[in-house]
Amino acid sequence: MAFSIALAGKGGTGKTTVAGMLIKYLVARGKTPVLAVDADSNANLNEVLGLAVKDTLGNAREDMKKGKVPPGMTKDVFMSMRLEEAIVEEEGFDLVVMGQPEGAGCYCAANTLLTGFLERLVGNYSYVVMDNEAGMEHISRLTTSNVDLLLIITDSSRRGLQAGLRINKLAKDLNIGVGKSYLIMNKVKEPPSPEALELLEKEGLELAGTIPEDETVYQFDFDGKPTIEIDEENQAMKAAWEIFDRIIS
């Protein structure tokens, strides 16, 4: 059964960048195959991974809802075909992009087929990495559930830390089946303050580690270059991998 890792955090913390670092780490460590799932409606994990996306699961769901199933083909066969086509294959990992609905209406039937497809799909992988939307919407809608590891990405600001703590609390309150939660501070300029560490301890959220602010990471992002191509000896990449070494078996 696949070991599932979900990433969450408020916008601007570099959550998707850390997801790319994690996928690079898993492939380099031989923990393959990996399924990368971009569950953010503002999908850009493919850019971090340097992949082109031709279709999304949301598009398939939308087409089924609009009755674009060819004559003589059942809806489940249509969805299975479209979802298979939406998988982007790369050495060591594959990527699927969830996408989003284009309009109002009931997506119950399509969502049921989509959920069933994903459940079958993940059985083919050793690890699943899900990059979720910023904030807590994905958790409140229970799209992040039954995960082995929840990585909450934040910056070192008080607001960022508070957002991370709210995500952790919501995950607990909803009882969505998270095995273990960690907080990772990204784009850090200095070590966490004693006050920040005390707040984390009070809330029972373990700090997995910090990733320093890095000019190379910033420049790659600004230039639209895949983060996954950053050298392993880069200080931010090394810090991330040291964290992953500690928390991923």
Question: CA of 140: how far to CAs of 127, 169, 199, in Å?
Answer: 24, 11, 23
Averaged pLDDT, 36-56: 87
Task: Compute the distance between CA of residue 204 and CA of residue 155 in angstroms, rounded to an integer.
Answer: 18
| Predicted local distance difference test score (pLDDT) of residue 141 | 53
pLDDT in tens, 185-239: 999 998 888 888 888 998 899 999 999 999 999 999 999 999 999 999 999 999 9
Q: What is the set of domains in the chain, with CATH numbers?
A: 3-53+87-100+126-247 (3.40.50.300)
What is the pTM assigned to this prediction? Answer: 0.89
| Predicted local distance difference test score (pLDDT) of residue 102 | 54
| Predicted local distance difference test score (pLDDT) of residue 219 | 96
Burial of 108: CB neighbours in 10 Å, binned 0-12, 13-18, 19+ = exposed
Task: Compute the distance between CA of residue 28 and CA of residue 207 in angstroms, rounded to an integer.
Answer: 24
- Where is pLDDT greater, at 21 or 109? 21
pLDDT in tens, 156-186: 888 888 889 998 888 888 777 888 999 999 9
pLDDT in tens, 65-118: 888 999 999 988 888 888 888 899 999 999 988 876 555 555 455 556 666 777
pLDDT in tens, 47-64: 999 999 988 888 888 888
Q: Assess contact for 96 and 35: CB atoms under 8 A.
A: yes
Q: In what order do the strands lie in the sheet with 180-188?
A: 88-90, 93-97, 34-38, 127-131, 3-8, 149-154, 180-188, 206-212
| Predicted local distance difference test score (pLDDT) of residue 145 | 63
Task: Compute the distance between CA of residue 203 and CA of residue 185 in angstroms, rounded to an integer.
Answer: 16
pLDDT in tens, 112-144: 666 677 778 888 999 999 898 766 555 555 455
Task: Compute the distance between CA of residue 35 and CA of residue 41 in angstroms, rounded to an integer.
Answer: 18
Averaged pLDDT, 17-43: 92
Structure tokens at 112: 């049921």
| Predicted local distance difference test score (pLDDT) of residue 107 | 46
Task: Compute the distance between CA of residue 222 and CA of residue 141 in angstroms, rounded to an integer.
Answer: 32
Q: Assess contact for 78 and 37: CB atoms under 8 A.
A: no
